[in-house]
């Protein structure tokens, strides 16, 4: 009896030690979010992963996006970075510490994802993260005004040239008495849509040389100013203080250059008219602009294999589709198919915007993901406004932006 009791005690002790050891595998995730449903989704999936991987727990710490990189820099400096982190870009100061996921999942790990964002996260053969969702810049339309004016909106397959688009929104404005034909977000990121639609880019194909002082970039600066000069876009937005979102939400704007992240807010707040998205107009090239968020792991993690495995689980086909549905955003994978968001208007808009992104030229993704852009955006905005206010010619503005890109390339890449 004593021997049997002793053996049972030893067995329980071993099981206890094993369980204790397993329980020590706690990973931390640093996460920013705007929508509380995203945090709920993450915690739910973390719990699911823990259930299927006994002894592993994932503790989620939250941070405001504006504080994200300051906090990460502090943690890296203190040799205590998180195991897993949600990011919008990989800055030079943290890149050396990011885990190469290809060591765990192979070089083709990102193959099921949208090519542009996959390319952005593949740095010289190292896979530095897995995409969570993407955003797409695009034209949002007041469909009620178009219907009232009897003006047709082309299908996403046909699209319209900028001349056709400007004529259409001008006709709608005139026939309906709307106050504004087109409103445009005051950001260089949204302006860059027009750059790519003119066939321009910020960099050459290597991403290490500026391509901005080109005829296409100069034409984009000139054409954008022309839309203001001819009254399509009110000057009170870019060289004033009016908010294009408020102008569109009021029902008094025919079209709005913004993006997919507005869909949820429109669904929640616009009740007096019907809206839709796309197709984007083009000058020489059909284009949206990629925005994206992704999840990475740090190579300093005690459990890099678990961190890499959780990322694979969290960005799987099923979870990525559910993530997009939950947040009403665009899935980052190409194998999720057409997503039903539970609302016909939202589904149509988001799938139209996803289509625009899928047919965009590669620079509309890779240029935006270039770490040099963090040094360039303010200069782009300043010089676009300088052209609008006639304090610089398009040629002078393009030369100034080009010089800033070249200086920034030397800062980031040492050339």
Return the CATH number of the domain spanning residue range 18-134+291-345.
3.40.190.10
Phi, psi of 294 (to 5 degrees): -150, 170
CB contact at 8 A, 314 and 221 = no
Q: How far is CA 381 from CA 25, 388, 400, in A?
A: 47, 11, 11
Fold of 137-290+353-413: D-Maltodextrin-Binding Protein; domain 2 (3.40.190)
Cα–Cα nearest to 287, from 344, 216, 345:
216
Q: Which two tokens stand for residue 255?
A: 């079209």
Question: Within 10 A of 206 (CB to CB), how many other CB atoms are there?
Answer: 7
Judge whether residue 6 has pLDDT over 60.
no
Radius of gyration of the chain (CA): 24
pLDDT of residue 337: 83
Q: What is the dihedral of CA 378, 384, 385, 387, to 10 degrees?
A: 140
Q: Is 139 exposed, middle or buried (0-12, 13-18, 19+ CB in 10 A)?
A: buried
Question: Within 10 A of 14 (CB to CB), how many other CB atoms are there?
Answer: 10
Same fold, 18-134+291-345 and 137-290+353-413: yes
Sketch the domain layout of the chain as residue ranges: 18-134+291-345, 137-290+353-413
Q: Which string of DSSP letters, residue by residue, matches 238-274?
A: HTS---HHHHHHTT-EEEEEEEGGGHHHHHHH--SS-
- The predicted-structure confidence for 246-275, as pLDDT tens digits, reads as follows 999 999 999 999 999 999 999 999 999 999
Mean pLDDT for 359-363 is 92
Q: Please give the Cα distance from 317 to 330 (Å, whole number).
A: 13
Judge whether residue 16 has pLDDT over 50.
no
pLDDT of residue 415: 59
- The predicted-structure confidence for 290-347, as pLDDT tens digits, reads as follows 988 999 999 999 999 999 999 999 999 999 999 999 899 999 998 988 888 999 999 9
pLDDT of residue 13: 45
In which band, very low, low, confident or very high, does the pLDDT at 43 lie, cut at 50, 70 and 90? very high
CB contact at 8 A, 138 and 259 = yes
Percent of the chain with pLDDT over 90: 78
pLDDT of residue 7: 46
Q: Out of 46-60, 80-94, 380-394, which region has the weakest mean confidence (pLDDT)?
A: 80-94
pLDDT of residue 93: 80
In which band, very low, low, confident or very high, does the pLDDT at 164 lie, cut at 50, 70 and 90? very high
Helix 188-197 vs helix 377-388: angle between axes, to the nearest 10 degrees?
70
- The predicted-structure confidence for 194-238, as pLDDT tens digits, reads as follows 999 999 999 999 999 999 999 999 999 999 999 999 999 999 999
In which band, very low, low, confident or very high, does the pLDDT at 157 lie, cut at 50, 70 and 90? very high
pLDDT of residue 20: 45
């Amino acid at each position: 009896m004593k021997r049997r009791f002793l053996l049972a005690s030893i067995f329980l002790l071993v099981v206890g030690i094993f369980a204790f050891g397993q329980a020590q595998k706690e990973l931390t995730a640093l996460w920013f979010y705007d929508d509380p449903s995203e945090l709920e989704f993450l915690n739910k999936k973390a719990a699911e992963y823990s259930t299927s991987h006994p002894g592993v727990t994932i503790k989620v710490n939250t941070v405001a996006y504006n504080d994200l990189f300051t906090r990460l820099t502090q943690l890296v400096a203190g040799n205590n970075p998180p195991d897993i982190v949600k990011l919008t870009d990989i800055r030079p100061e943290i890149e050396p510490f990011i885990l190469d996921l290809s060591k765990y999942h192979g070089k083709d790990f990102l193959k099921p994802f949208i090519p542009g964002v996959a390319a952005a996260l593949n740095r010289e053969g190292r896979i530095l993260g897995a995409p969570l969702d993407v955003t797409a810049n695009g034209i949002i339309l007041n469909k009620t005004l178009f219907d009232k004016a009897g003006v047709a909106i082309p299908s996403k397959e046909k699209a319209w040239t900028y001349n056709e688009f400007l004529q259409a929104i001008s006709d709608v404005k005139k026939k309906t008495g709307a106050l504004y034909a087109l409103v445009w977000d005051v950001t260089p990121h949204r302006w860059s849509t027009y750059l790519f639609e003119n066939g321009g880019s910020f960099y050459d194909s290597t991403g290490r040389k500026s391509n901005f002082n080109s005829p296409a970039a100069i034409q984009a600066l000139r054409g954008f100013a022309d839309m203001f000069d001819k009254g399509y876009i009110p000057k009170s937005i870019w060289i004033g203080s009016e908010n294009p979102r408020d102008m569109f939400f009021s029902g008094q704007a025919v079209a709005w250059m913004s993006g997919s992240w507005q869909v949820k807010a429109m669904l929640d707040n616009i009740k007096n008219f019907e809206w839709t998205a796309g197709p984007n107009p083009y000058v020489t090239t059909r284009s949206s602009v990629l925005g994206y968020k992704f999840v990475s792991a740090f190579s300093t993690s005690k459990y890099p294999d678990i961190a890499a495995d959780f990322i694979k689980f969290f960005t799987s086909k099923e979870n990525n589709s559910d993530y997009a549905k939950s947040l009403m955003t665009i899935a980052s994978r190409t194998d999720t198919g057409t997503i039903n968001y539970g609302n016909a208007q939202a589904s149509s808009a988001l799938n139209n915007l996803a289509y625009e992104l899928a047919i965009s030229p590669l620079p509309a993704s890779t240029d935006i993901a270039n770490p040099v852009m963090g040094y360039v955006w303010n200069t782009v905005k300043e010089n676009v406004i300088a052209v609008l206010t006639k304090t610089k010619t398009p040629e002078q503005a393009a030369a100034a932006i080009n010089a800033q890109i070249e200086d920034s390339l030397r800062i980031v890449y040492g050339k």
